[in-house]
Structure formats: structure tokens, C-alpha cells
Amino acid sequence: MQSGNGLTADEAARRTLLNNPDVTAKQKSLAAADATVDATRAGFLPQLGLRASYTRLSKFDLPPFSFGGMTLANPFPIIPNNYDLRATLSIPLSDYVLRLSNAMASAKHNKAAAQLDERATRLAVARDARAYYYEWIRAQWVSYVAAKALEAARGHAEDARNAFDAGLVSRADVLRTVSQQKSAELGVARSLNNVAIATEQLRVQMADPGQTNYEIGEDFLADLPPFAVPTSPGAGYAEALEHRIEIRQLGESEAALREQAALARAGNYPRLDAQANAIYGNPNQRYIPPTAEWRATWDASIVLSWTPTEIFGATARAKTAEAQADEVVARKAALKNALRLEVTQAMNALAEATFGLDVSRDGRAAAEENYRVRRELFRAGKATTVEVTDAETELTQARLQAVNAQMDVRIARVALTHALGRDVGRDDQ
């Protein structure tokens, strides 16, 4: 079942992260947040507008005008073709004071939240991938135990037939061993089906082709290295609060919303803009009388504007952002409660699994010896079929307990490592 070049839990996690759709979605969200920062920065740059227009005027006659009792012809000629080239530069002066810092801070907090969200997703996906890997090993090991149980059942059935031929047992005893063999065959079939499902689950997680097969690359029978368990659930909770990314992610989201509220309140104040125009027209309307020739002019102005009715909308937007920020605060409190429970459950699960591993080792050794003795006694005519069958059942159960204990300890370690935030430095695997 094991190969030095086979698949390991870390390799399964690394390969899963390469094509996981949840991670990909978070990466796209991060790219969008990064683009929002650029868009926010660009929104405060001076705006340069270029315009070109052509206007055709209809023909009409200007009436004469009187000057000093004299009637004179109108000196302004009618120019039907009008051309206008214009460049306009607008600088939002007040935005630099009232809006820029809040807008940029909000965008950067959103980007930081997206980064942390992407990292948290990677860690959760890697944790699940490792758990799937150990469940895959569990399925194979259970299949191995089932095959061993079938081998023992066949041997016992053969012993029973030999004893029947020798007149030591009844035909009912032989039929009992045959029934046990059929049950063992059903157990093998079920375990093989579970192996197929667990293998397919690994393929889906790592986005491998449907016919890909794997070998186990970890020595799951070797003793595990020491694991630093927190001294108490409270100590574990404190460690989790310090390292878990989800807490920081919600903090960034709250800060972004607070900045958005401050940005919205800026709508209560007047705007101050600097504007400049460069005009090249034919005719240029600033020249009197107009002539059909190209001429250039320019102008510059400071514009102070205020829309009092905007106060109502700005106040509403600020209240909305503040309410959303308060919602994030409530979610953070709920997350902390859930995190405390997660740490406690993970620590208890690891303690239970570690104790179960020690017990299963002793139980398996006792069951193996008991089965060996009962089978030898049965061959010598000093034990019944029921005794041997019970010994076989106990041995199978002891082996399954050993399987589950080994995998439970590994899965519990993965879960506790994630709960405490100790996997933050290994999210690139």
C-alpha cells in the first residue's frame, strides 16, 4: 500500500490549490479589488476633455441698426460654417481634501480584505485536501483489513470442512463458516467501492483525469512526530485569535466601510473645482466682429458649487455604510464564538484520537493472539466454531479500530493546526 514516491498529504494539498475553483474565484475577487484601487486613484486625477464640433448655420438677414440718427447696415457678417476645437482641464480641488484620503483608504482596506479572504480560502481548501487524503488512505486500509478478514474466513471454512470430514464438528458448524465467508466477501466488495469513491474524490479535488491512480507516499504506520497541544482551550483560543486570518479579514472589511461612510459625508460640503479651457475656433466667438478664420483663446476659472439637496442622499449613504460596518462587527463577534468552539472541538478530537490510538494497539495485539490460539484449539478439536468465529470478528474489529485511530489522529492534527492558525505560513503548499 505504500511507496516512497507516492502521494503525500502536502502534495495533495498543493495540487488541489492549483485548480480549485473556490481559490480561483477569490483570486478574481482580489484582481477586481486591485483594479478598484487603481480606478479610485485615477478618479482624482485632473480630467482632460477634448471636443471637436462643426455647426452649419441657416441663412438669415440681420436687420440694420440706428446710430446717431443714422441707419447703418449691420457690420456683423453671417458665417454659416462654424468649427470649434476645445480642450477642457478640470481639477477637483476640494476632493483632494474631503474625498481622496477616505476613498483611497476604503479601496486599500477592501483590497487587503480580498487578499486575506483569498489566503483564508487557500488554507481551508488545503486543510480539506489533507483530510480527503487521509480518508482515502482509511478506505484503502479498511479494504486491506476486509481482505484479511476474508482470508481468515476462508481458512476457517477449510478447517471446518476438514473437521467435519474427521467427524469432529457438525454440518451446521460448516454452514456457519460458509455464511461468515460470504459476509466477508460482501465486506470486501463494499470496501472496494469505498476505495473507488475516495479515489475519485481525490481526482476531483486535484482536477486529475478520471483514470489517474495514486500510491500512498506516507508511512502511516510510523510514529507521528510530537505535536504541541495548547495547555488549555483558553490558551488555544488565544492563539487562534492571534493567527487566524478570518478575524483580520473582517477587520479590514469593517475599516473599508467606515471609510466609505466618511466619504459619503463629504457630499454635505460645497465643491471647489479649477477649470481651464483652450479654444481654437473658426470663427472664434470671442472676436468681434467674427471672421471666417482660425483663432485661439483660453480661459481659467475657480468654481465653487453646492447642492444642498445632496445632503439628504449623502447622509443616507453614510448611515448605510455605518450600518454595514456594524453588521461586520456582529459577524466578527459570531466568528470569535465559532472559533472558540472550533478550537475546543479540535483539541478534544485530538485527545480522543490519541487515546484511541494507544488503546487500539493493545487491543489489536490481544485480538491477534486470541485468534491464533482459538484457531489452533479448533484444529485440535478443543474449541468450537462459535469461539473461532467470535475471535475472527474481534480481530477484524480490532484491526478496523487501529485503522480509524491512525487516520483520526492525523485528521485531528490537521483540523487543530488549522483551527489554531498554525497553517498560515504554509498556505502556498
pLDDT digits (tens, 9 = 90+) for 63-122: 666 666 676 666 677 888 999 999 999 999 999 989 999 999 999 999 999 999 999 999
Task: Give 36-67 pLDDT, tens digit per residue.
Answer: 999 999 989 999 999 999 999 888 776 666 66
The alpha carbon torsion through 401, 403, 405, 406 (nearest 10 deg) reads 160
Are 142 and 403 contacting, i.e. CB atoms less than 8 angstroms apart? yes
Q: Which set of grid coordinates corresponds to residue 204?
A: 476531483
- Indicate the helix (H) or strand (E) that contains 299: strand 295-305
How far is 426 from 346, CA to CA, in rounded Å? 19
Residue-by-residue pLDDT tens, the chain, 429 positions: 554 468 999 999 999 999 899 999 999 999 999 999 999 999 899 999 999 999 998 887 766 666 666 766 666 778 889 999 999 999 999 999 899 999 999 999 999 999 999 999 999 999 999 999 999 988 988 888 888 888 888 887 888 888 888 777 788 888 888 888 898 899 899 999 999 999 999 999 999 988 888 988 888 778 888 999 999 999 999 999 999 999 999 999 999 999 999 999 999 999 999 999 999 999 998 998 888 999 999 999 999 999 999 999 999 999 999 999 999 999 999 999 999 999 999 999 999 999 988 888 778 788 778 878 887 887 777 777 777 777 777 877 777 787 788 889 999 999 999 999 999 976 544
Are 80 and 60 contacting, i.e. CB atoms less than 8 angstroms apart? no
Q: What are phi and psi of 134, to 5 degrees?
A: -70, -30
Are 217 and 7 contacting, i.e. CB atoms less than 8 angstroms apart? yes
Q: How far is CA 184 from the centre of its chain?
A: 42
- Whole-structure pTM value: 0.81
How far is 175 from 173, CA to CA, in rounded Å? 5
Q: What are phi and psi of 85, to 5 degrees?
A: -115, 125
CATH number of the 2-44+95-270+311-424 domain: 1.20.1600.10
Q: Which set of grid coordinates corresponds to residue 153?
A: 474466513
Q: Are strands 81-91 and 47-56 parallel, antiparallel or unpaired?
A: antiparallel
- Indicate the helix (H) or strand (E) that contains 287: none
